[in-house]
Amino acid sequence: MALAKRTSQISKSLTLAITSKANKMKEEGIDVVGFGAGEPDFNTPSFIIDAAKEALDKGFTKYTANSGTPALKKAICDKFLKDNNLNYAPNQIVVSNGAKHSLYNAMLAIIEQGDEVIIPAPFWLTYPELVKMCEGTPVIVDTKDDKFKLTPKKLESAITPRTKAIIINSPCNPTGVVYSKEELWALAQVLEKTDIYIISDEIYEKIIYNGAKHYSIAQYSEKIYKQTIVINGASKTYSMTGWRIGYLAADAEIARAIDNIQSHCTSNANSIAQYATIAALNTHSSFLQEMVKTFDERRRIIVDFVNSTKDLSCPNPQGAFYVMINISSIFGKSIDGKVIDSALKAAELMLEYARIAVIPCESFGAPDYIRLSYAISKEDIQKGLKRLEEFLNTLR
Ligand code: PLP
């Protein structure tokens, strides 16, 4: 009996082996510092939890409208207007089970067999896999020579008659780079001349530092607004990763198609989590400000460490909660006769010898890099960096 071909086209997670080994070591009582976290290490704020309790007490436990409750969709429209100056009507919004689900829904609605999707590298590792699941072809465009940002020139040369979509992720996981308004507008000028869809993943929009400002490419013009599917969600901004609420905003026709797709796959996102997300979006709270301040302190610790360490370098992250570190200068070096010939090997040896778990970035389109998340305590960061320093000093 044969499995569908698409199952063999999905890449195996390179990070899984490291993560499970790190978990095993922790279970054995070994003190491992985990730099792998992809989620804020803060509790969901209590006012959001209270709203969820209220939903339960009210018996708000049944199916909702497939694309989200009218109240949540209104709160999302208000958010887009307030934060991004984007005017959407409720019929342009679809609420799903996390931003990842929103991305998949969007791709299912627009990508056909053989369609090309431009993905600037480094990228969040899920993007090319979703494209392949929709039978499209990821077209990876490297940006490391351009400060990790796609330029209009590179974009133009990647476009072919088969190009169906492009994915833009600002602030970016894993680099942390944030596109300026001018940089986004320059890309928009190229895309405006085409009928290419723009999937703009803005999940980290509020986790930004140093006065950086977030812009959505959809703000550029009426035509670009129609071409763009904006992806966002509650996971990162409100430390609600487990609640699984993501949403997208798009042209009404695209949103209708996505609504149809979702109606036959998952139906509505969890009713209680939807109710709580209204509180998240509508309540003025200092939670986010404090979380970003804490992230910023930790970010500086890692960036300062990298900048003062001979063998390391990194793009200066202005958003999200990751630092992507170039470790290519240790390739060829060894420990105990074990040679580091890749980021994956470096990560394995860092776990074995330094008891730190880092993410090798081969699957993020950045094979010279490892990613460190700073969604862990300052003390753990300091401990982990000390171990990393000792590890680097031990290499021959
Ligand atoms: N987009 C990016 C760039 C991410 O890093 C993540 C999660 O790591 C997601 C989307 C998915 O978010 P969610 O947990 O809402 O599915």
- Is residue 16 scored above 90 in pLDDT? no
What is the pLDDT at residue 72? 98
Calculate mean pLDDT across residues 329-353. 97
* Eight-class DSSP state of 194: S
The C-alpha atoms of residue 201 and residue 103 are separated, in whole angstroms, by 8
Mean per-residue pLDDT for 135-153? 97
The arithmetic mean of pLDDT across residues 5-29, rounded, is 86
Q: What is the pLDDT of residue 106?
A: 98
State the pLDDT at residue 15: 72
Residues 202-227, mean pLDDT to the nearest whole number = 97
Region 217-246: what's the mean pLDDT?
98
**Does the pLDDT at position 196 exceed 80?**
yes
369, with CB counted inside 10 A (0-12, 13-18, 19+), is buried
198-214 mean pLDDT? 97
Arithmetic mean of pLDDT over the chain: 96
What is the mean pLDDT of the segment spanning 52-64?
A: 98
The answer, yes or no, to whether any atom of ligand 1 lies below 6 A from the CB of 278, is no
Pocket probe mutation, ligand 1, options 124, 127, 199, 274, max atoms within 8 Å of Cβ: 124
Higher pLDDT, residue 18 or 381? 381
pLDDT at residue 84, rounded to an integer: 97
Whole-angstrom distance, CA of residue 394 vs CA of residue 56: 56
pLDDT over 70, % of the chain = 100
The pLDDT, as a whole number, for residue 18 is 84
Cβ atoms of residues 242 and 233 within 8 Å: no
pLDDT at residue 13 tops 80: no
Pairing of strands 246-249, 322-326: unpaired
Please check the confidence at residue 80 and state whether its pLDDT lies above 90: yes
* Substitution candidate for ligand 1 out of 19, 104, 173 with most atoms within 8 A of CB: 173
Give the C-alpha separation, 257 to 94, whole Å.
10
Q: How far is the CA of 89 from the centre of ligand 1 (A)?
A: 24
Q: Quick check: CB of 316 below 6 Å from ligand 1? A: no
- Indicate whether residue 99 lines ligand 1 (CB < 6 A): yes
233 C-beta closer than 6 A to ligand 1: yes
Pocket test for ligand 1, best of 15, 96, 100 (most atoms within 8 A of CB): 100
Measure Cα distances from 90 to 76, 219, 273 in Å. 8, 18, 18
Instruction: Find out whether 369 and 173 touch, Cβ atoms under 8 Å.
Output: no
The residue among 5 and 128 whose pLDDT is bigger is 128
| E-strand stretches of the chain | 33-34, 93-96, 116-121, 137-142, 163-169, 197-201, 228-233, 246-249, 322-326, 334-335, 338-339, 356-357, 359-360, 369-373
Position with higher pLDDT, 9 vs 168: 168
pLDDT, position 20? 87
Instruction: Quick: pLDDT tens for 150-191.
Output: 999 999 999 999 999 999 999 999 999 999 999 999 999 999
